[in-house]
Chain A
Amino acid sequence: DVKVTQSSRYLVKRTGEKVFLECVQDMDHENMFWYRQDPGLGLRLIYFSYDVKMKEKGDIPEGYSVSREKKERFSLILESASTNQTSMYLCASSFQGAPGGYTFGSGTRLTVV
């Protein structure tokens, strides 16, 4: 009964490559989010979206972009991967206007070499 699916569990990319991380949810949630998780830094918000084709910057958007062409899918794009983007990336979703927390995906551990 997985509700938020991230396309890759582990990913290794080279410096300078364009990287796409995909997230799909089947709960009809309006809100979708991308976080990165690093030891000692917790979960930091990269980008989020309240609706299709809508996006807002989080706290650390530099070096990233996002795309939300369909309600159920939210993609994180690393335009030119760098080694400091090696991290665990977590996607999450939630309902708009309803109480409750996020549902997280399982995460993608990205290594940039």
Chain B
Amino acid sequence: GENVEQHPSTLSVQEGDSAVIKCTYSDSASNYFPWYKQELGKRPQLIIDIRSNVGEKKDQRIAVTLNKTAKHFSLHITETQPEDSAVYFCAASPDSSASKIIFGSGTRLSIRP
């Protein structure tokens, strides 16, 4: 089955700097890659996703990149703000209908003022 590895487990960046979280996956059949943000005490929420026919996707300060050949994908957050502090999960799924999603272990991002 699919295995998703996520690094780093914790990340601390200065406010205004960029943050990068990296993930690898094992199943070449995976073609949908969502990212979730979980603020303290709250439920995970989808922040951005990418499908395998796309190499990069941006949404304001957030971008995701996908390298299908190498089976890795990354989340980039630019101009970080205090409200970006949260746990971020990458994930992989065999289809974009999210019939089954396998999550990474999470990255706790802290933004230093």
Task: Using CB atoms and an 8 Å cutoff, list the residues of chain A in contact with chain B.
Answer: 31, 33, 35, 40-45, 48, 50, 58-59, 90, 94-102, 104-107
Chain B at the A interface: SS class: loop
Q: In the complex, A50 Cα to B43 Cα: how many Å?
A: 22
B6 touches A31 (CB 8 A): no
A48 contacts which chain B residues (CB < 8 A)? Answer: 100
> Known contacts being A42-B105, A50-B99, A101-B36, is A90 close to B44, with CB within 8 Å?
yes
> Known contacts being A42-B105, A43-B89, is A104 close to B98, with CB within 8 Å?
no
Task: Using CB atoms and an 8 Å cutoff, list the residues of chain B in contact with chain A.
Answer: 1, 6, 9, 32, 34, 36, 42-46, 49, 51, 89, 96-106
Beyond the given pairs A48-B100, A102-B101, 6 more chain A to chain B contacts, judged by CB atoms under 8 angstroms and listed by A's residue number, are A35-B103, A42-B104, A96-B99, A100-B46, A101-B36, A101-B98
Q: In the complex, A33 Cα to B100 Cα: how many Å?
A: 8
CB nearest neighbor in A for B99: A31
How many A-B residue contacts, CB cutoff 8 Å?
Answer: 66
Chain A at the B interface: SS class: loop
Give the one of B34, B45, B51, B105 with max A CB within 10 A.
B105
A50 contacts which chain B residues (CB < 8 A)? Answer: 99
Q: In the complex, A41 Cα to B87 Cα: how many Å?
A: 12
